[in-house]
Amino acid sequence: MELTTLWFILIAVLWAGYFLLEGFDFGVGVLFPVIGRDDADRRTMLNTIGPVWDGNEVWLLVAGGATFAAFPEWYATLFSGFYLPLFLILLALIVRGVAFEYRHRSDDPSRWDQAIFWGSLVPAFLWGVAFANILRGVPLDADHEYTGTLFTLLNPYALLGGVVTLALFTLHGAVFLALKTTGELRDRAVRVTRTIGPVTVVVGGAFLVITQFMTGVPATWAGVALAAAGLVGTLVATLRGRDGWAFAANGLAIVVITFTLFGSLFPDVMPALDPANSLTVENAASTPYTLTVMTWVAAIFTPIVLAYQAWTYWVFRKRLTRTETPVAH
């Protein structure tokens, strides 16, 4: 396998890991005003992701850094053409992170709760908009520079992609809360799962089918089928009270959807409306020496990072109840 192809796959893995882990963080934040009926509920919800949310965001940093190092042309075009949406995502993540840290220090946490909600909803929606535009293709000139406007990115297909990721991450947060809480909190999370699950299946299925007919290859139809099976499995497991299986099935759907989208994209990394101006894994890649060094670094340090994060999740695997949540001073 060529190093350019290998790094395209590794970047897909990083994005899949980010959406899998950060996805339930976004979902918990979006569900703050829905499931959290009072301050004790919301503190319990926050404590379910408190030990892991910052580690989950590391996947985004690594994905961005890997893209910059392995495919600098892709990185430059993406961050210049999508500057405003990516800036809004970054701003929302900063606001949400500050709210996580300062909520318990405030006498009136309601404003921080609003910050957590919007800081979760905005990225959950805009990531779908951004990736849908990449799949659809954007106007690039011969120098691979973006020539469109903000409104070019707000097309119906991209907005549908945003709705899909928002619904998918909200569902992921609901099944995560059902897995990590007890009592009334868990019951509410289960009810949300039963409500939003069918909606996610419909909009997600529509988006994947449209993508397949627009950009997909025959091999990626298997991914569409597997993703649909994962979403349906999430609902079935929830109805049977199998919270762990529901979370695993929804996580599988997120990972498969991500790989299916990257599979539809390959060998392009940034398709242009004029195919002659598209960025591919070949014309956007770094030198072979750079990719070789990166491969050795990834081979050494990736298992260490994965082992540490797995240990963190194992340590904080216990379900939480309202009685175990410290009372705010």
Q: How many CB atoms lie within 10 A of CB 195?
A: 12
Cα separations in angstroms, 185 against 32, 168, 182, 208, 219: 11, 20, 6, 32, 41
Q: State the pLDDT at residue 12.
A: 95
pLDDT at 280: 92
DSSP H or E stretch at residue 279: strand 279-280
Q: What is the rounded average pLDDT of the residues 33-54?
A: 89
* Alpha helix ranges (H) inside the chain: 3-30, 32-35, 39-49, 53-70, 72-81, 83-102, 110-136, 150-153, 156-180, 183-215, 221-239, 243-265, 288-315
pLDDT tens digits for range 91-145: 999 999 999 988 888 777 888 999 999 999 999 999 999 999 999 989 998 888 8
Q: Model confidence over 231-242: pLDDT tens digits? A: 999 999 999 999
- Please give the average per-residue pLDDT across 186-199, as a whole number: 93
- Show me where the domains of the chain are located: 3-321
Q: pLDDT grade, residue 38 (50/70/90)?
A: confident
CATH 1.20.1630.10: does it fit domain 3-321?
A: yes
CA distance 211 to 134: 11
Q: State residue 324's pLDDT score.
A: 53
Q: What is the pLDDT, as a whole number, of residue 329?
A: 42
Q: Three-state SS across 261-275?
A: HHHHHCCEEECECCH
Residues 70-91 pLDDT 10s = 999 999 999 888 999 999 999 9
CB atoms within 10 A of CB 217: 10
Q: What digits encode the pLDDT tens for the residues 2-25? A: 899 999 999 999 999 999 999 999
Q: How many residues does the chain have?
A: 329
How far CA 34 is from CA of 45, 123, 239, 328, in Å, comes to 11, 18, 20, 21
